[in-house]
Amino acid sequence: MDALTVPANLADGLALLRGGLGDLLGHAADGGDGGDDFAQRLVGALRQAGGAFGVGDLAAHGFDRLGGGLLQIANQLLDFRGGAAGALRQ
């Protein structure tokens, strides 16, 4: 931290309390951030879409694994009595 930062911030705050202009140049430059904000919002929207795609991808893998698990359960139930309803000598 710069040694002059604290006194500068204090003087800025006191100027605002007295009704002065304070950081007028800084506030004027804030208006120039509009184009930059649009680009940041666009990137954020693309990240949201990527996250939604990732969740859909996880769901698809989960349903794929669920089907295999249900088939395994059905196979075990059929083979429960020594292969009477399933493949013999499995």
Domain ranges of the chain: 5-78
**Per-residue pLDDT tens listing for the chain (90 residues):** 577 788 777 777 777 776 656 566 666 666 666 666 777 888 888 888 888 888 888 888 888 788 888 888 888 887 776 655 555 555
Determine if the pTM surpasses 0.85. no
- Three-point CA angle 63, 65, 69, nearest 5°: 115
Rounded distance, CA 47 to CA 40, Å?
11
